[in-house]
Chains A and B, each alone.
Chain A
Amino acid sequence: MNSDRPFVPNFLQKFDKKLLITNPTVWSVRTHLVLYFVLLFTIVISLFCAALLQDARADNSVATITSFVIMIAIIGFIIWLKYLLRFNVFKRFGKWHSADGLVTYLLIFFTTLLFTFLPFIPSIVQSTIANVTYTSQELVNDINEINSTANLLEYDKIPKKWTADTFYIFKSTYTVKPNSTDTIWQYNVPINTTDKANNFNISDKDLEEKLLYTDSLIKINDSNYILYKAPQYAYVSSYRFLENDKLKILSNKELYNAVIKNYVKPNREQLLQRMAFFKSKYFLKDNEYDYGSNTDNDYANAIVKTYSLYSIDRGINNVAEAQSWFFRDKIWLINLLFYFTLSLSLLVFIFRHSTTKTFFLSILTAVILSILSALFVVITSKNESAIFITMFVYYVLFTVLALTIFNSTTKSLVQGISLNLIVFFTPILPLLCVGYYVQCIYEYNEFKNNNINTSLYYICAEVVGFVLLLILIEPLFKKLYRKWYALPEA
């Protein structure tokens, strides 16, 4: 037993040795060593991040730290591949037990996941710090209070009159191109358009969007609207909360109604103390904007400058950004993690069961086929369905070629490549089918039923694909690899 491995404590050395002499399949993947080193690194990098990212108001340097961690993760992954994965039960024709293939893959997947998860640690630490230091409700309440207080303090300077724009509506229609999903829009612009200030022509389609953001309106008739917009009363905001139903940031209109419409002279000293409190809470000198000798007379800029609201706004936004970076919007992160881990783990699994030459030729084959298929689709002007069908045909072809291994008497490069490719693409086979199905729905039913929620189909396909891979490893892939790898050369 090699006992001079640095930084490995005695208990782990003992465990490593025990695994070596009791379970070579598990030992040879070295998950236990990777887990230990990843945990060690996680603790170190977490402490480092906690020290560096402790002020959530500051412009975060999490991207820089993440880049550093990515490099460490890549180095760790290479060390795992080069130094720890030296022993291979399969290639040494050792005794394989019934679930060894599946166990090996799951261990490789888990170990790869440890590496792919590392780059998320700085973001998790940052998010944790931001969420522990400030709550989202607190941020929204403070934003609303800061805006209200600033408007009350500067009541004399702020404009009270709303802008009014008059819109003349014209109809728009669309038609569908024959044998295509492309649409052609047609506009019936009125001839007698007006050239007065604040008077505009607008299509009925564009008006729908405009109405979403107007503060008030008067409908003169079906083709003539006056839309009102309140002046700027919000100096601090955060887009993170703008579309949040529970945490409501007051809009210009709402601030007008709350503070200006029924203005009552406030206790100025008290309000100034509140503003000083917010400044102490969110102001950071590094976040402050250098106004210089700018003598902009705009009231909003003046208010921002007076109460250092630029720095406060930036501080709040940094906190809000940090809060939401990891713990919200998780689906795409899970997808990213999953597919990256899946791809890497499958490559490692295939490499461990194939020859080096066959492995790299498999990658080359996949790249060449992708290029040729893309060219075919472009040249023949086929749509997405053709891509799915082409990939499906490839999969069937490679499966047939791989299955011929069972009757082979000599090792064939083509069979090895086919086997590698079907193992790699099995998890996305259900996705191909769903993609093709959805494409068919889109092509044939677009305007009858275009509200189909296809995301559930894709999630199911992703889960089914992974399960299908796990199911096929033992009864099919392991047997094929076992037979193919042991076949004699021609």
Chain B
Amino acid sequence: MTNSFANDIQSYLQHDDVALAVRRMLDAALDTGKTDLITRAISWSKSYHQQEAETLFTKMPPQFYDDGTQLLIAIQSVQPDNVHTSKALLEVSNITKQYSNSSFSLKPISLKLNTGKVLGVVGENGNGKTTLLRMLGGQLAINGGSIKYCLLKNPDEYAIKNHVAFIPQRIPKWYGGLKDNLHFSASLAGIYGAENELMVSFMLERLNLTAYAHLNWDSISSGYRTRFEIARVLLQKPQLLILDEPLANLDIKAQQTILTDLIYMAKGIHNPMGIVLSSQQLHEVEKVADTVIFIKQGQCMFSSNDAATTITNTAIEFETSVTRDVILAIFADKSIDLHYNGGFYTIVTSDTAESTIKKLVDNISISYFRDITYSTKRFFN
């Protein structure tokens, strides 16, 4: 955590972004490693959630803000200097996969991932996203190339599975109480006794699950199941977290919350980790991912790392009620590609984004536009 982190929290509190402030405060308390501060942060968070449940988003009482400020001062006073420094986590070199009973094959893919970083994998259904993720998670054997888990020395397969947490699209059912499962996961990671209690309380509060902890799997919605699963794997302190379509079961608000939470947790001092996630929510993924790769028919077609050198033209996505002919008439003097997918037009041109948008806005009525030059969205036509 840096001072800017503390400034962020204070800013959130001043502008009543309390939910965000509470989550960041919990992260900050965890990074101090001090039990009393974590306990205070949990207690502060509980008071917020209790008030939120009782008063339905009315303003919090002044005492709440005072407590928050006091806690933040205490956290700052013990905050360690060592901010998380990124380490090499995963080095994948030309891995391939050929199924014996299918014509599908994954062409050579190489990538690197550091701790604190997020890699987004996007692509249409059935193009190899899950295959790639399962290979990275050690669940599926590779036919060629190599995967190096940089933080492990001569690991066996069991150690790799212990090091990597894989959350599949369809999360297997949990048996037994939800809280028992969380305690068990913490124990598996070697978190025992009072620390186990503390960490489970922390994770429940951090993901806003405390109110549901006494329930069982069948009593909660699929969105909460995803959140509980994330809480469970985070308690096992993996260094590489792989999520296959984690946003599929979440509402808009939860998608944003989970993604930002994952980013903050990945960069935390407590357990810095790398994250690989696949999703159809391109915009959301591109917002949080440090690197995005696009896979089509088993081949890596695009990597945002190489975008600056490989992308030579501009792509703009927009929505309008005018016909294709009208749009083409506007750009009659230029050579453009115009695609329509039923909802949006996508225009690809050698002009800059600014001039292209200006031309559109000046000539026709536009209800929505977005520059997707460096977005994988341009490949979904």
Contact = CB atoms under 8 A, between A and B. Distances in A.
Interface in B154-176: 156-158, 160-162, 175-176
Interface in B98-129: 100
B185 interface: yes
A94 B188 contact: yes
B184 to A, nearest CB: 5
Contacts of B135: 488
A474 to B, nearest CB: 15
Given A2-B180, A94-B162, A487 B187 contact: no
A77 B304 CA distance: 56
Nearest to A22: B192
B343 interface: no
B158 A93 contact: yes
Contact of B184 (A20, A95, A485, A490): A20
Contact of A21 (B156, B177, B183): B183
Interface stretch (B20-28, B37-45, B138-146, B345-353): B138-146
A235 to B, nearest CB: 65
Interface of B: 100, 135, 138-141, 156-158, 160-162, 175-177, 179-181, 183-190, 192-193, 196-197, 214, 236
Nearest to B194: A21
B161 A1 contact: no
A63 interface: no
Given A20-B184, A486-B156, A488-B139, A95 B177 contact: no
Contacts, number: 85
A95 B179 CA distance: 20
A483 B156 contact: yes
Interface stretch (A84-92, A131-139, A316-324, A356-364): A84-92
A483 B187 contact: no
Nearest to B216: A2
B180 A20 contact: yes
Given A20-B184, A94-B187, A485-B158, A2 B100 contact: no
A410 interface: yes
A483 B160 CA distance: 11
B158 A87 contact: no
Residue from A21, A23, A92, A95 having most chain B Cβ neighbours under 10 A: A21
A489 interface: yes
8 contacts: A2-B179, A21-B187, A92-B184, A92-B188, A482-B158, A486-B160, A487-B157, A488-B138
Nearest to A24: B187
Contacts of A24: 184, 187-188
Nearest to A21: B196
Interface of A: 1-2, 17, 20-24, 27-28, 83, 86-87, 89, 92-95, 409-410, 482-483, 485-490
B139 A93 contact: no
Given A21-B196, A86-B176, A488 B162 contact: no
Contact of B161 (A2, A486, A489, A490): A486
A86 B175 contact: yes
A486 B192 contact: no
A23 B185 CA distance: 12
Contact of A410 (B141, B190, B193): B141
B372 to A, nearest CB: 36
B324 to A, nearest CB: 48
Contact of B189 (A20, A94, A485): A94
Contacts of B141: 409-410, 487-490
Contacts of A17: 183
Contact of A20 (B138, B157, B160, B187): B187
A22 B180 CA distance: 13
A489 to B, nearest CB: 6
A417 B14 CA distance: 63
Nearest to A97: B190
A409 B141 CA distance: 7
A307 to B, nearest CB: 66
Contacts of A409: 141
A488 B140 contact: yes
Instruction: Kindly list the 5 A-B residue pairs having the minimum CB-CB distance in the complex, ordered from nearest.
Output: A94-B188, A2-B177, A486-B157, A24-B187, A86-B175
Contacts of B177: 1-2
Contacts of B157: 483, 486-488
A412 to B, nearest CB: 11
A218 B299 CA distance: 106
A422 B63 CA distance: 67
A466 B337 CA distance: 76
Contacts of B180: 1-2, 20, 87
Contacts of A28: 184
B162 A95 contact: yes
B165 to A, nearest CB: 9
Contacts of B161: 93, 486
Nearest to B162: A93
Contacts of B193: 21-22
Nearest to B138: A488
Contacts of B176: 2, 86-87
Contacts of B185: 92
Nearest to B178: A2
Contacts of A87: 176, 180-181, 184
Contacts of B181: 87
Residue from A17, A22, A94, A483 having most chain B Cβ neighbours under 10 A: A94
Contacts of B140: 488-489
A482 B190 contact: no
A21 B179 contact: no
A407 B184 CA distance: 32
A429 B188 CA distance: 35
Residue from B138, B139, B156, B157 having most chain A Cβ neighbours under 10 A: B157
Contact of B100 (A20, A94, A490): A490
A1 B187 contact: no
A21 B196 CA distance: 6
A312 to B, nearest CB: 59
Contacts of A20: 180, 183-184, 187
Given A21-B197, A87-B181, A483-B157, 20 more contacts: A1-B177, A1-B179, A2-B176, A2-B214, A20-B184, A20-B187, A21-B183, A23-B192, A24-B188, A27-B184, A87-B176, A87-B180, A94-B162, A94-B187, A94-B188, A94-B236, A95-B188, A485-B158, A486-B161, A490-B141
Contacts of A83: 175
A483 B158 contact: yes
A408 to B, nearest CB: 9
Given A21-B183, A485-B158, A89 B188 contact: yes
Given A1-B177, A482-B156, A489-B139, A21 B189 contact: no
B158 A21 contact: no
B223 to A, nearest CB: 22
B236 to A, nearest CB: 8
A239 to B, nearest CB: 54
A293 B190 CA distance: 82
B171 to A, nearest CB: 14
Contacts of A27: 184, 187
Contacts of B175: 83, 86
Contact of A486 (B138, B183, B187, B190): B138
Contacts of B138: 486, 488
Contacts of B158: 93, 482-483, 485-486
Residue from A22, A92, A485 having most chain B Cβ neighbours under 10 A: A92
Contacts of A92: 184-185, 188, 236
Contact of B183 (A1, A94, A485, A487): A1
Contacts of B179: 1-2
